[in-house]
Amino acid sequence: MIPRSVYTEEHDMFRDAVRKFMQREIQPNIEQWEEDGQISREAWLKAGEAGILCSHIPEEYGGAGVDFRYSAIAIEEQGYVFASGPGFSLHSDIVAPYILHYGSEEQKKKWLPKMCTGEVITAIAMTEPGTGSDLAGVRTSATEDGDDYIINGSKTFITNGQMADLFIVVAKTDTSAGAKGVSLFLVEADRAGFARGQNLKKVGMKSQDTSELFFDNVRVPKSNLLGQKNAGFIYLMQELAQERLSVAIIGAAVAKACYDETVKYVKERKAFGKPIAAFQNTRFKLAEIRTELAVTQTYVDRCLELHCEKKLSIDAAASVKLWATEAQCRIVDECVQLHGGYGYMWEYPVARAYADSRVQRIYAGTSEIMKEIISRTI
């Protein structure tokens, strides 16, 4: 593989600590969490203690104030142990930036420190039963009533939904203005009228809590408005580049982890009196996979560099998300094939990866939406 140059020695030291944490605190618990349908709160607190959550948040709000490459390392190391359950990245790299960039000083001081420690778990409620990638079409409404807003509507497919203490809710404050009538709100889980639906049963990511949410006349003070009224759609568009890069990072990591597992397997597994790795087809398939991995990782690393320089454009983020997730699914599929029947058994990591990977091409904007974004710049 081509040596990676995106990380420094300090990053490598952090990676070593994160890797030990994932192997010690996360990997041994995956099977139990799959049965439970969610990870433990203790794991969140331990991740906070280890400095894995919200590392990019400034020190004045409880973070380490480091660059996004530290977040990328946490994402990668979680992928390398095939742990799809912990919603650490969504909490740290998707929700936290909204509060940091658009929140009031009061909101930042109230929520960010506890998000860094894992005491408060967060989620973002965008998707609705009838609205996926078309965020301008959300039907959840927030109506002004004196010093409050009253929120009504429902959301679905919400990661961290069963455990979250705080939600960023996308709602319409002007139902006649389309995208220009969207606002963001901070909604605490203990608000009257808020309810969680069932923990949704998914094809993969079985230890990640994913929920329906219901808002029935949920009253929040106007101070819970995040940023400016009717500016929510702009905020969403500005933050989606980092979200899509994060998805690309995990895609490359899981693909590499599957490749490494497959290389070990084909060297040990024998057929017709010799290791599967001795067959030309196996060697050629692995050569193709390693080449595609190198292309994907180099591409992701370059986009990571651009993002740290604040130069990653919306269409470039869409491109890397499209490429990395499609490549991930191709590679994982080939790895399952090279495992034969064992690749279809849940106890093998590639089987879990096969089930977990499919949604990568759907959330954070489907592959088709990514193509649409890219094509608009041609």
Please state, in angstroms and rounded to a whole number, the distance separating the CA atoms of residues 243 and 269: 39
Backbone angles phi, psi at 193, to 5 degrees: 95, -10
Burial of 197 (0-12, 13-18, 19+ CB in 10 A): middle
Q: Check if the beta carbon of residue 53 is closer than 8 Å to that of residue 117.
A: yes
Q: Check if the beta carbon of residue 148 is closer than 8 Å to that of residue 220.
A: yes
- Look at residue 188 and give its three-state secondary structure: strand
Please state, in angstroms and rounded to a whole number, the distance separating the CA atoms of residues 333 and 240: 28
DSSP label at residue 173: S
Gyration radius (Cα) of the chain, Å: 21
Closest CA to 325 of 259, 266, 377, 253: 253
Q: Which residues pair with 225 in a beta bridge?
A: 185
- Which residue of the set 25, 243, 261, 334 is catalytic? 243
Amino acid in the structure at residue 64: A
CA 289 to chain centre: 24
DSSP 234-275: HHHHHHHHHHHHHHHHHHHHHHHHHHHHHHHHHHH-EETTEE
Which helix (H) or strand (E) segment is 175 a member of? none
CA 164 to chain centre: 15
Backbone angles phi, psi at 177, to 5 degrees: -105, 5
What is the token pair recorded at 331? 């590679």
Q: Check if the beta carbon of residue 25 is closer than 8 Å to that of residue 33.
A: no
Strands 166-172 and 122-125: parallel
Active site residue 243: yes
End-to-end C-alpha distance for the chain, whole angstroms: 32
Annotated catalytic residues are: 243
